[in-house]
Structure 1
């Protein structure tokens, strides 16, 4: 506004407070109308050319319309000032052209600022939408992984119960009681993304009793977790899946006992078992270990470490600090 008035009136614009206020007020009234119209046109341009690929076309069309509107406004202002001899202004081609060039430069600069700000705003909105979509996709995948655990665990539990009913009805009754405790935890934890290590340990204690009932001295669990780490977090069912994985792929027999150790070392949780693979290939749907790896990745936590030697299979799990 100041530049337009100065290009039109020169030093007269700043000669007195009356001149400055009069010219500024007149120009402001007309410029406000132009700003409103420009805003409406800008929104329409975004609707017509929303894609980034159409940005150049949108800028060219919008700038052309803006320059036309501003040229019309400047022409009218020059005519108004000259026709009524306002502030000593005379409408000549030179004065009109000078005002037109000044207003065109201002319009192009304003257009560039508007397009830059608008582009950053659209990019930010796109990023937020992409992040939200990614979060929803990860949540869907995570829920899908959790749903795979229930039928898998139930299938193995019912197989164990079926074997016990035929061989030892009393142990079968004890097995059902322990299985009910396990499923109470399972149903509760299925709605959570993380649980405390203490709760996991309590849960696998019941789960280990189920395995001890089935395998006797063939299965030897050892849990030794330092107290300060028991409040740390990890995905629910992690320990159960690792223990189940060890039992599934190794010989479990009193003559060849399977020892599964759960302990902490250097701030990490370690689950290991002695390696004595079954001779017969075990059919696996890969829900166990791959499920745990996927959970940590979906939650954006450090990957777990898996290693195998001739005598031992080991999984190192990062413990998540409990902020509460």
Structure 2
């Protein structure tokens, strides 16, 4: 047992000793004080350590976060059985062994039945609070751990996505300048036309590079413009065919994905007037396909792999749908998933962090209020039960505050942990999502 728990049990023992000695003990002697102290220490440590051992065992074998239902059932069963045994043991030691006010036969007779029943109920009430507190602490630790993990995942994904998008600018510019360099020597007039078209295309690159998704229509228009540039350079050596369903135009794809795949087609295949490279861009089920006849050229140096790998990674960060690659002796095809809706990507901005902090602060106040209410209930109600049974056992009145206050505690707990919070959380998420899209 931890040192902190031992100190807590000692303070509880001292408190109960003073309480019973000063109020209920008529013989104010040192001997009477020591007997009361001994009994308080025995009850406190036997019940405290016993329930602590049970709770620790269940925490290791059946954690609240992994087996909540099983743990709840086992906690209830072990709480009842364990406290039944522990209370009977303490009472037996008290009345039979230490004070010797009863024999073993008398102790197990109906004469001490009410005393044992009363002590068991008190022990159950206190240990139920301790088990509930343990559950809430475990839940809070698990929630905090999940929040930290999700933040790390989100930051990692965001950093990875930004890194992938930043590859596009230099990659596109480098390839375009290579094409322009070739055209300057071969056809200066076409080089001027290429330069004008390239500026228009690069403007699109700058506009779209910060977006997670763009419409198929925008991407197709950009691809057609880029194909015109390639046509300028390769003339009748390359042919492009577009067959896109009308209903797919308003759906979404990763920006600049077609441009990267078109570059790959040109880069990895040779194209001549006698053997033209035919590139088809068409709709197929829920995918946008880019297919070319296979005319593999010999590579002087190994490919960097930026194009296709970039697309695959960006899709993996946005959706569970996969990019499919098909290759045969005659053709090479890449299938890009087209998405009906944009994923709900909510960026955490500084002002939202302040709002989250305020919500967390308010939540802590609510939890402290509930725990204070529950703690007061667990302390005051046993005290009222003791007063009632000692002063007027024939007239039982402690049921009224016990049930009345108990209903209030239950209602307080429901408002803090369950009903009434879901709609608030949903509304807050909706507001944050709207703000993030502005």
Q: TM-score, normalised by structure 2?
A: 0.55
* Alignment match, 1:221: 240
> Which consecutive segments of 4 or more residues in structure 1 shift more than 6 A?
none
Give CA-to-partner distance per residue, 1:27-83, whole Å, 9 cap, x none: xxxxxxxxxxxxxxxxxxxxxxxxxxxxxx6xx334323212211221121123136
Verify the 8 A CA contact 1:78 1:96 in the aligned structure 2.
no
Residue 153 of structure 1 is aligned with which of 172, 177, 182? 172
Aligned mates of 2:270, 2:301 — CA distance in 1: 11
- Pairing 1:199–2:141 present: no
Q: 1:83 to 1:309 in 2, by over 3 A?
A: same
SS of the aligned residue for 2:167 comes to helix
Structure 1 residue ranges without an equivalent (≥5)? 1-56
Aligned mates of 2:41, 2:4 — CA distance in 1: 21
Cα RMSD over matched residues?
2.6
Higher relative contact order (Cα pairs below 8 Å, separated by 6+ residues): 1
Aligned mates of 1:101, 1:250 — CA distance in 2: 85
- Pairing 1:81–2:28 present: no
What's the offset of the Cα at 1:167?
2.1
Aligned mates of 1:280, 1:317 — CA distance in 2: 26
Aligned mates of 1:319, 1:300 — CA distance in 2: 10
SS of the aligned residue for 1:252 comes to coil
What's the offset of the Cα at 1:123?
1.6
Aligned mates of 1:146, 1:267 — CA distance in 2: 24
* Alignment match, 1:274: 293
Equivalent runs, 1:119-134 vs 2, <5 Å: 119-134=138-153
Aligned mates of 1:149, 1:287 — CA distance in 2: 9
- Residues paired across the two proteins, number: 262
Give CA-to-partner distance per residue, 1:85-125, whole Å, 9 cap, x none: 9xxxx989579837973784465554443233212211211
Residue 187 of structure 1 is aligned with which of 185, 203, 206? 206
* Alignment match, 1:65: 7
Aligned mates of 1:320, 1:284 — CA distance in 2: 29
Q: TM-score, normalised by structure 1?
A: 0.74
